[in-house]
Structures are given as C-alpha cells and as structure tokens.
Amino acid sequence: MTHKLLILTAVISLFLSGCGQTAPDLNGSNNISDANAISGDTVSIDESAYGNESDGNYNSSTDGFRSVYFDFGDYAISSNMENNMNNNIKVALAVSSKIKIEGNCDEFGTDEYNYALGLKRAKAVKDSLVSQGLTSGKTVMVSFGESSPVCTEPSDSCYDRNRRVDIRLVK
C-alpha cells in the first residue's frame, strides 16, 4: 500500500511540474494589444537581401503582395520594410476581396511562443494597413508559428526568411 502511494505521489508531482518551460508573455509590455509597442525601431534587416519587386526573390506572398520580414524575436515593422509595406497598402486598397495576413516564425522558441509571435507580427502588419485606410473587416489574420517555413537549411539567412508575414487574397 505504501509503495503504491509513493508511486502515485511521484506521478502526480511529475504531472504538476510539467516541462518547466515558461509561457510567452502575453500580458506584459509585448502584449499584442499594446499599440505603442509596435514601432519601427532597432530592427536591422537589409531589405535588399530579400530581392526586389521585379525579380520576386524571397517573396512568399502572392497576388501582388510582398512579404514583410522581422528581426529575431521581434514584431515591429522595420523602416527597411517600408517599400514592401507601401506596395502592400497599394495592392490591398485596390482589391475588392478580403486579404489573409499570415504570421510566421523561425524554429527557435516553443510552439506557444512562436504562435503568439506570429500573431503579433500579423497584427502589426494589419494595424499598419488599417492606419493607411484599409477597412479592418477586410482582413483575416492567422499565425502559423514555425509550422510554415519557406527555408529549412540551418543558416542565419534561412532563419531570416522564415521570420515574416505573408499576405494573400482570400479566395
């Protein structure tokens, strides 16, 4: 009887302790609803590394939209992505159907953290589009976290390509 009680106590303790991973901070300063946290500061992405509008390199968005890339662990839209956002605003205002804004992350971090970060990235792009005149009801946001990589090589340039928001027309 004592042996069974000891085993049951050990199993319950293991169950309650879990993996010991911390959940993403959704209530702190990086809260998705914190509009002041979405700014274009301190991001060091070189837009030229992602190709240009004429050759379409490293663009996983479709229907005339251009992907927006982010720094590691960040969801602020960089000033380096201004050309991509200007293009996306023009295309979004010109189309009549809804657009889907897809947040993506690299493979670092827990699934929960990457899902939340992908959603914050999608919201930053949506907020930027809405601030330029797009109707909020014309958008749908989704986060793929790390589950939709465009590159799987273990290199920094590959990880950079996966930290993005793609925009597509809802068909």
Query: DSSP readout, 76-136?
Result: SPPGGGHHHHHHHHHHHHH--S-EEEEEE--S-S-HHHHHHHHHHHHHHHHHHHHHTT--G
Q: For 108-135, write each residue's pLDDT tens digit.
A: 999 999 999 999 999 999 999 999 999 9
Burial class (CB in 10 A: 0-12, 13-18, 19+), 152: exposed
Residues 6+ apart with CB under 8 A from 78: 40, 43, 44, 45, 69, 70, 71
Instruction: Identify the CATH number of the domain defined by range 45-169.
Output: 3.30.1330.60
Instruction: Quote the pTM value.
Output: 0.66
More confident site: 81 or 171: 81
Q: For 33-90, write each residue's pLDDT tens digit.
A: 333 333 333 333 343 444 443 333 478 888 899 999 999 999 999 999 999 999 999 9
